[in-house]
Amino acid sequence: MCGIAGFAGQFEPELLGRMSMAMAHRGPDDEGKWHDPEAAIGLCHRRLSIIDLSPCGHQPMWDATRRAVIAYNGELYNYRELREELIKSGYKFQSKSDTEVFLNLYLRDGVAMLTKLNGIFAFAIWDTKDKSLFLARDGVGVKPLYISQTPKGFIFASEIKSLLQSNDVNRNLSPEAIHYHLSYLWSPAPTTILKDVEKLEPGYALIVKHCKVTKKWCFYDLPYDQEIIPITVKEAEEELRERLNQAVKRQMVADVPVGAFLSGGLDSSAVVAMARKYTDAEKLQCFTIGFKDNAGKWEGFAEDLPYAERVAKHLGVDLHTIKVGPEMSNKLPEMLYHLDEPQADPAPINALFISQLAREHNIKVLLSGAGGDDIFTGYRRHHALLLERYWRWLPKKVRAMMSRIAGKIPQGGYISRRFAKAFQYADLDADDRLASYFRWLTPSIQQQLYSKEMARQLASRDIQDPLVKSLSRLPESTSALNRMLYLEGKHFLPDHNLNYTDKMSMACGVEVRVPLLDPELVSWTSRLPLRFKQRGSCGKWIFKRAMEPLLPREVIYRPKTGFGAPLRRWLRDELREIVIDTLSERALNNRGIFNPAAVNKLLHNDRTGRIDAAYPIFQMVCIELWCRIFIDQKVPAI
């Protein structure tokens, strides 16, 4: 919906204007600033008008009593019900916006309001009565919120580039975050690539008093600690359809037209099947992307577009397609600028093109199928995890031998890459092995890539695997599959998929909503029997069964594909010059992060098919380009 920023401290008031301009793309419809020099508080807001398009929705917004003021980004899907409840409790409203519901709910319930919210949000409320700043981020992490404690005080924003408008937020890199980016291609919250900047974790809130954080707590965690529900297949199919229907219906709330992504996969197709019933337009407007060449063959995935066209015809929706080719690789610097974080995945470029297409058709809101693989299963690692039952009982010495053999298998082909990855960490204990499914490099190879100084800094820090640390929050009785799904929702979704979806769409002034991650739906799916999720090699088993009455079978049971681009070909062709430039000995020595000799060896081993290092190589390229943009301040022309 918007972009927010602000501070609590002795910052210059002009900073609010600069922070607002840095994220103007997030809210092209309106902007607002508020500053109280006596209280040393400032808030700013960029507005993308979606609910209550009138000036009454302007932010920062005060409640009717002038006690509290809010800057808020997101959508509250149950705001109408809460509004009626608050009116009955005697609270006054000056607008029809969901923003004012936040304010009155806070006045009535205080921070306990968080348990009543169904939506996507990041907000900051300044309470003039107790002189406190209250910030929170939605439980799944759809909306971003970055924070930093500086010598002048506390500062926050929807995007890092907005934070960096203050010279008090230094640009020192975080060795831990670089290590995580090279491991996973993203950095788990709260770390970011900047040492003094953190991401507020999904489902967390904090209180700022006297210009510093005085309290921080988790108000929502993914509910994988619940009992499995007894339910039949037929009951599960019917209830799933109804719960998805209600989630989509809730998320259609808007005073502007709502469209949808339509890749032709099960997740987006299921969302569209529900959404078409609730659109105010004659036909639901859907958007997708197609490649001009046979790019997918390089990565081992099938073309999406024919399936998207099949679904659109079957459901009777309008499908708008943007065709792209190798020229899309030219968008890499722009992608990294908008991402704020050096995520090494070309998929955000697809999201950028689709969002631009939607905005050209005057669509400000898109529904997405994001999250289906993360709550029902759907990734290859989920099947690989189930296959462990055939060998994890083996003695550790035997598993160690399997790991060594896997490390020697050439990975030039698609099948050999998958086989090697399946057994690369066979010798690890349960949770460590589970976390290893998210890794892209073995620790031994990764450690060699660092410069002496970077290796020294990492050696002096506790860089315990944050994924394993997260798993410690679950009961030991939680199954391995649900433990992995917990990691998907806790880290992979917010730190990777949802981050790039938000940043790329908001770069175009488009908001993306995710019905499959509705908290009520997530809570229900977390309690489903495991056999309803992954059954043999079939992921999302119950989801597929439930959608059979609504979608063509060839769409439901089509091969799994990635929402990406031909990265391995790009590195050899379209991005070749960028790889040579960013990973040259001179560039690497100047930056001081990586060891040129080890990087050159990795490039050679990847080219000869000894290992598959395309994504780690791309990650190093992205880190260097990110540094040029945000450290050297060579911002790309956009």
Active site residues: 2
Q: What does the buried/exposed string (b/e) look like for 122-150 if buried means 16 or more CB atoms within 10 Å of the residue's CB?
A: bbbbbbeeeebbbbbbbbbbbbbbbbbbb
| Cα separation values, 341 from 334, 498, 623, 628, Å | 12, 13, 9, 13
CA angle 215, 220, 225 (to 5 degrees): 125
Other Cβ atoms within 10 Å of 583 Cβ, number: 19
Write b or e for each residue in 558-570: b if 16 or more Cβ atoms lie within 10 A of its Cβ, otherwise e.
Answer: bebbebbbbbbbb
Residue with tokens 């770390």, as numbered in its chain: 191
Residue 166 amino acid letter: S
Sheet holding 511-513, edge to edge: 318-324, 285-291, 258-261, 365-367, 511-513
Estimate to the nearest angstrom the gap between the alpha carbon of 608 and the chain centroid. Answer: 33
Distance from C-alpha of 80 to C-alpha of 77, rounded to nearest angstrom: 8
Q: How many whole angstroms separate alpha carbon 267 and alpha carbon 259?
A: 15
Residues shown for the chain = 638
Euclidean distance between the first and the last CA atom of the chain, given in angstroms as a whole number: 22
Helix (H) or strand (E) holding 282: none
Contact 30, 47 (CB under 8 A): yes
Residue 362 near residue 281, CB atoms below 8 Å:
no
What whole-number distance in Å separates Cα of residue 244 and Cα of residue 246?
A: 5
Which residue is it, tokens 């024919």? Answer: 306
